[in-house]
Amino acid sequence: MTQTISAQELFTGDRWLSKVVVEMNNGKVESIKSEGYNHASAFALVVPALIDLQIYGAYGKLLSEFPEADTIQKIYDYCLAGGVAYFQPTLATQSVEVILKCIDAVKSYKDNGGKGCIGLHIEGPWIHPGKKGAHQSDLIHAPTMDEVQKILEYGKGYISMITLAPEMVDEKIVDYIASAGVIVSAGHTDATYEQATKAFDSNITVATHLFNAMSPLQHRSPGVVGAIFNHKKVMSSLVADGYHVDFNAIKTAKKIMGERLFCITDAVTTTSTGPYQHQMIGNKYESAGTLSGSALTQLQSIQNLVDEVGIELGEAIKMCSLYPAQVMHQEGISGKIEINKNADLLCLSADRRLLKIVTA
């Protein structure tokens, strides 16, 4: 079925085009042209749909507490409302039993036609206890190869990312995880600059929520933050809500990292049962007095990057679409509007409010 959308301004993921029509058929972009442009029906802005690589739950259901396909559907609904077409449902430090149940939930959702789910993001339990943030202390540990093999074999094809502390995990285990096609991210880590740099030179290609729960940049001890800043290839996510990271710190990080910096929401939901009980305090979530997650959408991330950090709109969009796609390098997820690519796009008002989302 053919569908057309006129755009006063279109951002392809690489460049801006004015007064064009996007023609789509069977979930693919067929053409982008000026012929047929209709100003009366045109949207002010049309941009690539967004991508969120870290979100824990939505609408009162946290994945680790409700490991079922319905939770993932609620997360997808929340994502769509915030401009996101592709997402990674995430669980914080949990037992192997709960991890396996979350794998079952992702499998059920995807195998029954659920849209948008890239795969499961497992954050912990192989993290540093001193950088646990709101994670459960009693479940944090260094993994054995048997434990890792059990989880990866059970979740083959359904686990897409694992966040771990490189100083807590044997290098052979990290290599094994990467060889299974899972993206390995450094997070909740107290690694030294040297340890982090060695990990980034090997099979750890990304870091989780820059500045938060990692050894800081200090003038005599550059830590993980310093290693991320100085590395040429490693990318890092960041929570752009102004609570997890001050907007001026984001400005500094962006100047240093450029295209290696991208956004996640790190969004949670209000919960009153289980080990992770998140309560909304202002515009953020806390658990037992500790900052535990955001109330962001990715579209709000873009607003904050533009309005509070001073980043150009196209670059802010890339930080929430193109760059996360580059982290995952999965077929069909490009973060662009291009001919023969999946037709995933947002139609926005001039003040960047969501009017319509199209997904392949």
Catalytic positions: 266
End-to-end Cα spacing for the chain: 12
How many C-beta atoms lie closer than 10 Å to residue 340's C-beta?
7
Q: Look at phi and psi of residue 162 and say left if phi exceeds 0, alpha if psi is from -120 to 50, else beta.
A: beta
Q: Please say whether the beta carbons of 54 and 261 come within 8 A.
A: no
Q: Please say whether the beta carbons of 266 and 123 come within 8 A.
A: no
Report the b/e string of 213-243 with b at 16+ CB within 10 A: bbbebeeeebbbbbbbbebeebbbbbbbbbb
- Collect all residues with Cβ–Cβ distance below 8 Å to 102 and sequence separation of at least 6: 63, 64, 67, 89, 91, 94, 120, 122
Q: How many CA atoms lie within 13 A of 144 on its CB side?
A: 4
Nearest to 25 by CA among 43, 46, 4: 4
Report the b/e string of 29-64 with b at 16+ CB within 10 A: bbebeeeebeeeebbebbbbbbbbbbbbbbeebbbb
* Amino acid identity at 350: A
Nearest to 300 by CA among 256, 348, 252: 348
- Encoded tokens for 224: 């993980």
Q: What share of the chain is helix, strand, coil (3-state, %, to 5)?
A: 30, 30, 40
- Collect all residues with Cβ–Cβ distance below 8 Å to 96 and sequence separation of at least 6: 147, 150, 151
Bond preceding residue 125 cis, omega within 30 of 0: yes
Q: Give the integer Cα–Cα distance in Å for 292 and 272.
A: 14
